[in-house]
């Protein structure tokens, strides 16, 4: 819902709107993530990774909303230093 609202508001300001979507968790090595997190992700929690590009820049707001909605959660052991890589 928020991704659709964002697209709508931006289109009120400009006709040249493109979105992309990427995510990061953290470096997939100790001490940033536990070996259990790395080796045994669950259905609802993905294994840690530095960065993934889920959607290249596009004007397709439906695709953007879908990617945001389908994003899965993850975790790490400390502050997410991987954000520096992202």
Domain boundaries, the chain: 2-84
**What size, in residues, is the chain?**
86
- pLDDT of res. 53: 92
**Interatomic CA distance for residues 32 and 79, integer angstroms:** 8
16-42 average pLDDT score: 75
**Interatomic CA distance for residues 38 and 20, integer angstroms:** 26
- Render the burial of 3-41: b for 16+ CB within 10 Å, e for the rest: beebbeeeeeeeeebebebebbbbbeeeebbeeebeeee
Q: Each residue of 45-66: pLDDT tens digit?
A: 777 777 889 999 999 988 988 9
**Interatomic CA distance for residues 86 and 75, integer angstroms:** 16
User: Model pTM greater than 0.85?
Assistant: no
């Amino acid at each position: 819902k928020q991704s659709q609202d964002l697209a709508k508001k931006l289109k009120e300001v400009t006709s040249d709107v493109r979105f992309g979507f990427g995510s990061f968790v953290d470096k997939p090595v100790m001490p940033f993530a536990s070996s259990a997190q790395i080796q045994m992700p669950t259905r609802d929690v993905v294994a840690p990774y530095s960065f993934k590009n889920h959607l290249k820049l596009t004007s397709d707001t439906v695709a953007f909303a879908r990617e945001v909605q389908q994003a899965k959660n993850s975790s790490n052991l400390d502050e997410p230093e991987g954000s520096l890589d992202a």
